[in-house]
Amino acid sequence: MAKPKTKFQCQECGTESPKWLGKCPGCGAWNSFVEEVEKTAVKTQGVNSSLLKTKEKAVPLIHIESSQEQRVCTQHQELDRVLGGGLVPGSLILVGGDPGIGKSTLLLQTSFALADKGMRVLYISGEESVRQTKLRADRLGAASPQLYVLCETNLEQIEEAIEEVQPDFMVIDSIQTVYHPAVASAPGSVSQVRECTGHFMRIAKIKGIATVLVGHVTKEGAIAGPRLLEHMVDCVLYFEGERHHSYRLLRAVKNRFGSTNEIGIFEMRETGLVEVQNPSELFLSERPLGVSGSTVVASVEGTRPVLVELQALVSQTNFPTPRRMATGVDYNRLSLIVAVLEKRMGMFLQNQDAYLNVAGGVKLDEPAVDLGIAVSIASSFKEIPTQPYDVVFGEVGLTGEVRGVSRVDQRVREAQKLGFRRVILPESSLKGWTPPQGIEIIGVQTVAEALSAALA
């Protein structure tokens, strides 16, 4: 009997090599190569071929009728917002997140909500037994006769269950535990994940089943397995949050049916995840008043304006090179703002450590928070408290100018709704809209004007 050929494959990007390598030449990851049995053809014996066959024929594009895809609401407004308005039948969704962050809790609550609407839901768990899933469902109050639970990792058995139940919505928790019997490699390997995801993709498209795959993440926070996994699915969601905080953020990094700028905010409680309707109140609930280095900025996540608190601490350094640390914003952005303050505003920060934190753990990646960073650092450096009822936003250029940003009216109305009295914003953003009554609008052109208004 011939000895089977083996190869080494990177678990991060899928790069193949005839021998083991310490560092992947494709993605640069260390110790990511694993040995796998090389196969000449994928065996499909035993796999239910009726699930994979289709009689679709190629037709000219102009002959296809344009129609809006019907979406199914999950009764979770935050999840629907991130998905682009609800679940699309036949879509394949990948959900990743740290262990214990609440992925299974969110999907079990979503499964119950859809089953409560009369849809057939199949929840397949490869990590928990049926009894364990039942205990968690009892704690969450998620029991329904339309919710079917299966503890299985064999792809053949899963396809038989799909053919028997005929679900409208399906959850695979998790894709790294499912294995194809015809693939000679361990579950969770690159070949197994790729092959199983390909089968679930064909089942979802042919039978019109909205399918959610739960993916493990690496220590860097990326979804484990080949990068091809994220290319195959229709939507990639990341469930983020700190273990020591009760809130969770659901963020889309890929979405073929909606925007990737939306975020959903949940709060973890004993009875499960609860939606946060007004995140600005959550992030500002413990804000101190009359303290230097604290500034409220107005950020926009997708279509939703969010007010968050920026905290800066500037102190004299004990090292030859001052430290720059940023949590929640880009480190390079912090260095840029510090350089602008030092060059254009004359602040001597070469012997000062600068620390910046976004209170609440939320991550901000839009340039509209630049002006808030500058005001926070200047406030801490000069030991002058900012006004407690001011909101600041605007993009800062290298010459010290303040550039305009988008969705100004939404940011201002959110600030007014929460009781703020003044808004410091770019003067160029005052055109094209009418400021609401009861709130003072201050337009600035440079960082110097913003600091004189905010630290007066």
Most confident of 45-49, 148-152, 180-184, 266-270: 148-152
**Residue 394 assigned as binding residue:** no
DSSP category for residue 179: B
If we measure between CA atoms, which residue out of 193, 200, 199 comes closest to residue 218?
193
pLDDT classification of 32: cutoffs 50, 70, 90:
confident
Alpha helix (H) residue ranges in 17-175: 77-83, 103-116, 130-140, 155-165
pLDDT at 204 over 90: yes
Which of these ranges, 35-49, 96-110, 130-144, 426-440, has the smallest mean pLDDT?
A: 35-49
Mean local confidence (pLDDT), 352-373: 91
Going from the C-alpha of 91 to that of each of 78, 209, 211, 319, the distances in angstroms are 18, 7, 6, 54
Task: Describe the strand order of the beta sheet including 16-17 as a list of residue ranges.
Answer: 16-17, 6-10, 33-37
Instruction: For the beta carbon of residue 353, count every other beta carbon within 10 angstroms.
Output: 17
Interatomic CA distance for residues 295 and 378, integer angstroms? 11
Residue 36 pLDDT grade (very low, low, confident, very high; cuts 50, 70, 90): confident
* Averaged pLDDT for residues 301-328: 91
Q: Give the count of alpha carbons within 13 A of 189, CB side only.
A: 20
Are the C-beta atoms of residues 352 and 378 closer than 8 Å to each other?
A: no
In whole angstroms, give the CA distance from residue 453 to residue 387.
10
Here the tokens at position 321 are: 């090179």
What mean pLDDT comes out for the span 284-291?
87
- The pair of structure tokens assigned to 358 is 């976004």
**How many Cβ atoms from other residues are within 10 Å of residue 280's Cβ?**
20
Please name the residue that has the structure tokens 């600091």.
451
Asked whether residue 404 is marked as a ligand-binding residue, the answer is no
Residues 429-446 have a mean pLDDT of 92
Give residue 39's pLDDT band: very low, low, confident or very high (50, 70, 90): low
Angle (CA) 282-284-287 rounded to 5° is 135
Say yes or no to pLDDT of 30 above 80: yes
Spatial strand order in the sheet of 294-301: 324-327, 352-358, 304-316, 294-301, 390-392, 422-426, 440-444
Q: Answer left, alpha or beta for residue 244, where phi above 0 means left and psi between -120 and 50 means alpha.
A: alpha
Q: What is the mean pLDDT of the chain?
A: 88
Burial per residue of 20-47, b for 16 or more beta-carbon CB atoms within 10 angstroms, e otherwise: ebeebebeebeebbbebeebeeeeeeeb
> Is the bond leading into 49 cis (omega within 30 degrees of zero)?
no
The pLDDT of residue 64 is above 90: no
Instruction: Report strand pairing: 210-215 vs 147-151.
Output: unpaired
Query: How many Å is the Cα radius of gyration of the chain?
Result: 26
Provide the token pair at 252.
Answer: 């889309």
Could you report the per-residue pLDDT of 139-176, keeping only the tens digit for each? Answer: 998 888 999 999 999 999 999 999 999 999 999 998 98
Q: Is the pLDDT of residue 1 over 70?
A: no
Q: Confirm whether residue 124 is marked as ligand binding.
A: no
Query: What's the CA gap between 425 and 456, in Å, rounded?
Result: 16
User: Considering only CA atoms, which of 385, 373, 302 is closest in space to residue 340?
Assistant: 373
Residue of higher predicted confidence among 377 and 363: 377
> Looking at residue 244, what is its pLDDT?
67
In 262-369, which residue ranges form alpha helices assigned H by DSSP?
279-283, 331-344
| 102 marked as binding residue | yes
Please state, as a whole number, how many other Cβ atoms lie within 10 Å of the Cβ of residue 138: 10
Answer whether 415's CB lies under 8 Å from 439's CB.
yes
**Predicted local distance difference test score (pLDDT) of residue 42:** 47
pTM above 0.95, yes or no: no
Range 214-234 average pLDDT: 76
For residue 104, what pLDDT is reported? Answer: 92
100 is in an annotated binding site: yes
Among the residue ranges 49-63, 126-140, 190-204, the one predicted with the least confidence is 49-63
Residue 40 has pLDDT above 70, yes or no: no
Q: What is the DSSP string of 302-359?
A: TTEEEEEEEEEEEEE-SSSS--EEEESS-HHHHHHHHHHHHHHS----TTEEEEEEET
- Cα separation, 8 vs 311, in Å, equals 48
* DSSP symbol at 387: P
Q: Helix 103-116 crosses helix 130-140 at what angle (to 10 degrees)? A: 70
**Averaged pLDDT for residues 228-249:** 83
Residue 33: per-residue pLDDT: 84
Longest CA–CA separation in the chain, Å: 85
Amino acid residing at 251: R
Range scoring the smallest mean pLDDT among 89-93, 200-204, 286-290, 340-344: 286-290
Give the H or E element holding residue 203: helix 190-207
Tell whether residue 370 is among the known ligand binding residues: no
